[in-house]
Structure formats: C-alpha cells, structure tokens
Structure 1
Amino acid sequence: MTRWLLLPLLLLAACAPGVPDNARVVVAGDSVMAWNRGSGASVARALQARLGEPVGDVSLPLAKLAGGTGSLNIPTQLSGVSAPWVVLNGGANDISASCDCTRCGPVLDRLISTDGRSGAIPALVASLRQRGSRVVWADYYTSPRFAGTACVAPYRELEARLGRMAARDAGVTLVDMDDVFSPADLSLFAADRTHPSPKGSARIAALVAPLLRR
C-alpha cells in the first residue's frame, strides 16, 4: 500500500469512537462504514444524528471477515458486543485479497455457503443473534471504479447468498446499498471512486435508520 493512502487510514482508525455504554445500535465492518469518520460524517455519526441517540462504531478500514488480526477482523470487532441492533457489512477485503474477480468461488464459500447456512458470515450472525442482537447487514453498492467490470459478479453472488441467510431469520435484515446509490452519481463517492463521500455515508444511514426505529 502506498504511503499516501496508509496515513489517512491510520488517522481514520485513530478516530474510532468505540461503543458508549448506553448504545442501542453498534456499527461494525470495513471502510465503507468507517469512511468520513475523521470529518464526523461516517455512517455511525449520520445514524446518530438521525436517531437522536448514541451509536457505537467499531468499523475499521481494511477489516476482513475471515482474516485480519485484532480489530481488523470483523468478528473480533464485535467480541463482547450485545447491543439490541448491530449494523454491519464486510467481505470486500476478503474478496479483493484472495481472487481476481473471476475465480472467487473458494473465497465466497469461506464467507458464506451457496445456501447461506455456513461460513464466516452466518457464524458471526448466529453469534450476534445468540447474544440477543438484531442484525442489519448492508450489502455493497456498485462503485464507479468497478461498475461494468467482472468484479461486479462476485458481489452479486454474495448478495444472493446473504439473501438466503436473511430469509430464514426475522431478526436479520438485508439491505442493498444499491437501492440508494448509483455509480453514475459521483457526488456519492470519495475521490477514489470507491468509498462513500459524506453524502454517500448519509445515504447509507438514511437507508438503515427506519429499521432501527421499529
């Protein structure tokens, strides 16, 4: 990773606010959730503003579901968390590190099986449900950087598998960030054309917030 990219990520990680004692909602996952934290415009901060209550945030850039150490492992981020609601995403860093967008079957199977019953994601969700948390899984949007390329296919397959998992448990809701994002609207994306802009983070919060008021 180049030095110019590493420094902003380290600064972003250093700003992680953690989980307030009275947080009813906790956000976890990778850089899509954590982006814009340094400017106070992350998904968690936007949710906090919409809900009018503290929102925990343990998300970190570069975090993986089936890899990563410490808080760069998403299940580890959530170790000991038993909030009523957990909002999270993940899988992109696992996929990008392990396949070239055309041979992703093995890494997808490690994340979640075709039927949605096994793998790192169902294991994490089952653990959260056993702790009493309801889960909102935010499926990835299509970014301008990858729209129209072969990299869209593994994420479509990931979404299908997540849908099968969520369909079996009323306490798990799958939301699709593509419902509020368009790769043609560059105002929703940061300069790297991959991560959300502050406007994009706000869109994700607006998609999720109504579920958390139920």
Structure 2
Amino acid sequence: MLTRLLTALFLLSVTQAGLAHAGGQNGPRILMMGDSLFAMHKLAGGSVGTRLRAALDAHLVDNSVGGARFLYRLPISGALGLNIAKQYRRGDWDWVVLGGGGNDLWLGCGCNRCERKMDQMISEDGRRGVIPGLASRARHDGAQVLLVGYMRTPGNGSPIEHCADEGDMLDARLARLAGLDGGVHFLPLADMVPHGDLSYHAMDRIHPSFKGSRVIAHRIARLIAAESGAPVVSRGAGGAD
C-alpha cells in the first residue's frame, strides 16, 4: 500500500504543472479531464493533451492530474484536481474528453472485490454513477463527450496485469453509457498495445510512454475529426498506430 501511495504522489509531482493551457484558436474547444493517462509527460510537452492540441489546432484546456480518482473524498486534495469530478469547468466546450478510473480500482481496492467502487463510478447499465453524472453535466452544457478507456499492459511483468478483467468491465459499462446518447462517444484502447511490445509504456509498464501518449492523442483526434468534421491540421499527434 505504501508503494502505491508513493507512486501516486510521485506522479502527482511530475504531472501537475501546466494544468490549463489553451493553445490554438481555430479548432474545436476541448476540455480534458482525467488522471495520468492524460497527464503523463506534461512537463516535457509530450502529453496526450499537448499532442491533441497540435493535431486539431484546438483551444484545449487540460485539467488532468496524475493520481486523480473519480471517488476522491478528501476536500483539500480534491481541490488540487485529484477528484476528477472537480476538474470540470463550465465553458463553451465543443468536446469534453474524459478518462480515469484506473486509480480507483488499483489504489482503491487492488483490482480485487471492486464491485462497489465500480458501481459507484458507473452502474452495469451505464445510467448511474459519477461518470454518467459528469457526462450528463457536460451534455447539458452543450458539449459532446468522449469517454476514453484504458490501454492494456504489454503482458510482460506489469504490476497491474491482474487488473485486466476490471478494465474490460469498465470498458463495457462505458460503451453502454455511450450507447444511450448520440452525443456521448466511447474510445477503447484495449487493442492499442501489441502483446509483448514495451514501446507504448513508460518504464513502470503502467503509464504511457511518449509514443503511447502520441498514439492515444492520434486516436482521439481521428474520432473528433470524424464526428465533427474538424480537420487534423498537423501530425502533432503522431503517425499511424
């Protein structure tokens, strides 16, 4: 447990800088919310949000924070962005891109007997929980919502290898939520990493490498472009995956 806590605090320290950079003015207005899947490499300018901003010339605000959870009860740290729900800001967004849930399952219950936490995040039918509530709020404010699933491990010594079943369950529920509203979309990442390929992950084999962040951004950019007609104006998100 101590190791997990130290890992979360370390990731917070290296990914919290630069939470809200706007950038381009000609592309879609995007709010990103989530954890280190998005926040990784912010300081180095290689995060998912940085690459997505370049790819779409987006006016993009990235409020993601390493170590963030959907079910975070502490008010002070929640105000720092560790509570994903508190990362939301009302605005004239075209898209709200939402990720997260891995810390709730891994740090919160060790990916073991996590049914209660899973239900609190999103019910089996996709209609209730924190995630549907956030999606509904963003839709009410006029944005389309993109739910991004978690990329899987390379299947080679990752400390979260045993979380695969929970990842599949979360993805299935997110897909059901997306099926309830034409303005909510689900982007799975389960097929992104070839088995045994370590190049998509950082050394911890949990978080995305620079390449992993680039490919995730490329997939998000392609979906937004396809759904809204927004052109991909640069290869900033990287090449084909």
TM-score of the pair, normalised by structure 2: 0.81
Q: How big is the shift at 1:141? A: 1.1
The alignment-based identity, stated in percent, is 36
Amino acid at match of 2:113: R
**How far, CA to CA, are the matches of 1:9 and 1:98 in structure 2?**
16
Question: Aligned ranges for residues 99-178 of structure 1 at < 5 Å?
Answer: 99-144=109-154, 145-146=158-159, 149-178=161-190
**How far, CA to CA, are the matches of 1:66 and 1:60 in structure 2?**
14
Q: Which residue is equivalent to 1:188?
A: 200
Q: Secondary structure at the match of 1:26?
A: strand
Q: Secondary structure at the match of 1:151?
A: helix
Gaps of at least 5 residues in structure 1 are none
Compared with structure 1, are the counterparts of its residues 113 and 207 closer, same or farther at alpha carbon in structure 2 (3 Å cutoff)?
same
Contact 2:70–2:85 (CA under 8 A) maintained in structure 1: yes
TM-score of the pair, normalised by structure 1: 0.90
Alpha-carbon displacement from aligned partner over 1:126-156 (angstroms, at most 9, x marks no partner):
0110001101111001123157x43111111
Query: Which of 55, 67, 83 lines up with 1:73 in the alignment?
Result: 83
Contact 1:19–1:58 (CA under 8 A) maintained in structure 2: no
Amino acid at match of 2:220: V
1:60 and 2:70 are equivalent in the alignment:
no
**How far, CA to CA, are the matches of 1:179 and 1:207 in structure 2?**
12
Q: Secondary structure at the match of 2:119?
A: helix
Contact 1:31–1:62 (CA under 8 A) maintained in structure 2: yes
Query: Which of 92, 95, 101 lines up with 2:105 in the alignment?
Result: 95
Q: Which residue is equivalent to 1:17?
A: 20
Compared with structure 1, are the counterparts of its residues 40 and 125 closer, same or farther at alpha carbon in structure 2 (3 Å cutoff)?
same
Aligned pairs, number: 213
**How far, CA to CA, are the matches of 1:115 and 1:35 in structure 2?**
31
**How far, CA to CA, are the matches of 1:90 and 1:4 in structure 2?**
16
**How far, CA to CA, are the matches of 1:10 and 1:61 in structure 2?**
8
